[in-house]
């Protein structure tokens, strides 16, 4: 089976909601619904449940301006994400999010970007390639 190439444009990403908007643009273009801002939903999609990743075919995922997005989805965005989860103890495991926030604050926790990268890495059919502006410019 041929390898499919998909490209995330990091210029479209500046926070967690815009990350999912870009994921939807790339992976869900032919679906009649959109992925919500959920790491679990992202993981499910990458398992081939639906969208452009449907069926577990080999995918090369090019992420343009990934280094910019490392900062966009970094400590500040992750802190905001955890604090929002903590406001809803009826919906989320607040003990887990409190622990994750503490780890983030003391420098040992993963950022949202780190978690997204790990989710992608957990899918052996997906090869992630960074294409930053500096690396794609002629030398």
pLDDT per residue over 60-69, tens digit each? 999 999 999 9
User: Would the pLDDT of 138 be above 50?
Assistant: no
Q: What's the whole-model pTM score?
A: 0.90
Which residues face 84 on adjacent strands? none
Distance of CA 94 to the CA centre of its chain: 22
Report which of residues 138 and 49 the model is more confident about. Answer: 49
SS3 113: helix
Q: For residue 35, is pLDDT > 50?
A: yes
- Residue 101 CA, distance from chain mean position: 18
pLDDT of residue 2: 66
- Measured CA to CA in angstroms, residue 80 lies from 14, 46, 60, 75, 97 at distances of 14, 25, 31, 9, 11
């Amino acid at each position: 089976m041929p390898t499919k190439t998909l490209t995330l444009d990091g210029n479209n990403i500046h926070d967690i909601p815009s990350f999912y908007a870009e994921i939807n643009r790339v992976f869900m273009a032919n679906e009649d619904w959109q992925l919500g801002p959920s790491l679990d939903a992202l993981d499910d999609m990458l398992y081939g449940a639906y969208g452009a990743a449907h069926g577990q075919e080999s995918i090369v995922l090019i992420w343009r301006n990934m280094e910019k997005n490392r900062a966009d989805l970094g400590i500040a965005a992750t802190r905001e994400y955890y604090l929002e989860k903590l406001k809803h103890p009826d919906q989320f495991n607040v003990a887990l999010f409190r622990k994750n926030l503490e780890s983030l604050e003391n420098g040992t926790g993963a950022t949202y970007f780190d978690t997204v990268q790990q989710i992608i890495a957990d899918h052996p059919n997906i090869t992630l390639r960074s294409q930053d502006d500096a690396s794609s410019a002629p030398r």
